A and B are shown apart, each in its own frame.
Chain A
Amino acid sequence: MTKSSKITWRDVHLAFGPKQVLKGINLNVEKGESLVVIGGSGSGKSVLIKSVLGITKPDTGQVIVDDQDIVGCSARDREAVNAKIGMLFQGGALFDSISVWENVAFGLIQTGAARGSIARSRAIDVLGRVGLDKTVADLSPSELSGGMQKRVALARAIVNEPEIIFFDEPTTGLDPIMSDVINQLIVSCVRDLGATAVTITHDMASARTIADKVAMLYEGQIIWHAPVAQLDFPGNEFVEQFVHGRGEGPIQMTVRQ
């Protein structure tokens, strides 16, 4: 852990029943850094960020945020840590029983940071930042396209001006143009807020746009961690195969005949 560490996973192990998902993760994200974690489906990437949010609890090891180990911390400490974090879920995870602006302002209202018309105007401001005008504010999330839902989810993730933002596959299911729009929004939001970002993705274009550093998760371990500039010549055959999307290589997909 360096002096400016924001998040550190130290020898983190986590299993679901007999399936060992994380097998000794050691990873560090520095303050203000944008780290992209790549890896195959089911490799435990989402579990990695959920271990910081307290949604999954490591069996052993430490997850350190701002010099504080948060594994097994009290409910009050957990609340304080989560208040620093914004999260963009893979499917958006917008609440479909409330309107778009209520979704965006949800965290503000629940923490008492803003209420009523103030919360609404804050939500509309942030919707503007992600390129949505106020006509969408009163719509239901189900009335929006996939790309617009992602933007609303992004607005919800940044409305509290968090110190840390997690993006779980932010461009999955979007067309290339909308993917680039979302990538650019992520870059500008992270830069404007000065936040530390961890992004999970399979999308190499996304990784190249968003990342300062890239880490690859394979079979429950971080096998490569380097600046994004080294992504094309990683010096690691696993990363090379993954980045170029080759069927042949050391990573073998199990396909049932």
Chain B
Amino acid sequence: MKLLSGIGSVVLTFLAATGRVAVFAGSGLSHCFRPPFHGKQIIRQLIEVGFYCLPVVALTTLFSGMVLALQSYTGFARFSAESAVANVVVLSMTRELAPVLAGLMVAGRIGASMAAEIGTMRVTEQIDALSTLSTHPMKYLVVPRILAGLTMLPILVLIGDIIGVFGGYLVGVYRLGFNAVGYIEQSWSFVETLDVVSGLVKAGVFGFIVTLMGCYHGYMSRGGAQGVGIATTNAVVSSAILILVANYVITESFFSK
């Protein structure tokens, strides 16, 4: 009986949390389409997500592309398929690695800082102050961040795709001795529009997840510094898990036969 009530309590808590996130997401999205819009805040968040995350996304995708080329070469050499390295790099980067790695890195870099900033605003009554100053906190704090996540992550991933393929090219040409023109030609001819588009769709969804989780956990934080710390951790962990789940779902919807 105790076990059943324990399971029931966990399920109810999970469902309640899911409901709260869904209501928060619905409210955030609906405010995206209703004026007033806080242009200054939107620009600030676009810079925060797009510009300040670029170095970390670039480095991650560069080294992932390089490692991928090296690993696939050593693996494929076992059955004399070394020539497929360029194909594997371009396909893996565009479809999977660039969006997932960028999503995870942005979750660590931006999701955490959003949760910490909004959480601190919550516990110091700055969010209450906003509503007393004729400003809807959802419009001022949440909408700019969600818009920034939705728009900037696909751009970051597009740049990450190019840098990742370039990483594979560097290793392929300068370390493994592939022909430079041949490597580029092979990558270019193998990649299809759907590969890139699926990655960009994933990026948009991951951007939404990261910013939503950062805002949600920050907005709901309670109880001072400890509450803000918990919110920050929860934002990163829940973003990472949701990114991986959403990655599978989107991959299924694009590529299942």
| A residues at B contact (CB < 8 Å) | 50, 53-55, 79, 82-83, 85-87, 89-91, 93-97, 106-107, 110-111, 156
Contacts and interface: CB of A to CB of B under 8 A. Distances in A.
Interface in B152-195: none
A95 B129 contact: yes
Contact of A93 (B125, B134, B135): B125
Which of A83, A94, A110 has the largest number of chain B CB atoms within 10 A? A110
Please list the 7 inter-chain residue pairs (A to B) with the smallest Cβ-Cβ separation, ordered nearest first: A93-B129, A93-B125, A107-B133, A87-B132, A89-B125, A110-B135, A111-B134
A93 B131 contact: no
B126 interface: yes
B251 interface: no
Nearest to B44: A97
A95 B140 CA distance: 12
Contact of B134 (A89, A95, A96, A107): A107
Contacts, number: 44
A183 to B, nearest CB: 21
A97 B135 CA distance: 16
A82 B132 contact: yes
A16 B125 CA distance: 18
Given A94-B126, A97-B117, A110-B133, 15 more contacts: A50-B128, A53-B132, A54-B131, A55-B132, A79-B134, A82-B131, A82-B132, A87-B132, A89-B125, A91-B125, A93-B125, A93-B126, A95-B121, A95-B126, A110-B134
Nearest to A156: B133
B28 to A, nearest CB: 16
Interface in B111-138: 117, 121, 124-126, 128-129, 131-135
A93 B125 CA distance: 5
Contacts of A110: 133-135
28 contacts: A53-B128, A54-B131, A55-B132, A82-B131, A82-B132, A82-B134, A85-B132, A86-B132, A87-B129, A87-B132, A89-B125, A89-B129, A90-B125, A93-B124, A93-B125, A93-B126, A93-B129, A94-B129, A95-B126, A95-B129, A96-B126, A97-B117, A106-B133, A107-B133, A110-B133, A110-B134, A111-B134, A156-B133
Interface residues of B, number: 12
Contacts of B126: 93-96
A129 B135 CA distance: 25
A82 B121 CA distance: 20
Nearest to B125: A93
A110 B39 CA distance: 12
Nearest to B41: A97
B129 to A, nearest CB: 4
Nearest to B128: A55
A212 B67 CA distance: 75
Nearest to B126: A93
B117 to A, nearest CB: 8
B133 A53 contact: no
A41 to B, nearest CB: 15
Interface in B78-131: 117, 121, 124-126, 128-129, 131
Contacts of A156: 133
B132 A91 contact: no
B125 A83 contact: no
A146 to B, nearest CB: 13
Contacts of A83: 134
Contacts of A55: 128, 131-132
A111 B136 CA distance: 11
Interface centre among A53, A79, A93, A95 (most CB of B within 10 A): A93
Contacts of B128: 50, 53, 55, 89, 93
Nearest to B117: A97
Contacts of A89: 125, 128-129
Nearest to A98: B40
A7 to B, nearest CB: 15
Contacts of B117: 97
Contact of B131 (A53, A96, A97): A53
A89 B122 CA distance: 13
A49 to B, nearest CB: 10
Nearest to A85: B132
Contacts of B131: 53-55, 82
Contacts of A95: 121, 126, 129
Nearest to A50: B128
Nearest to B133: A107
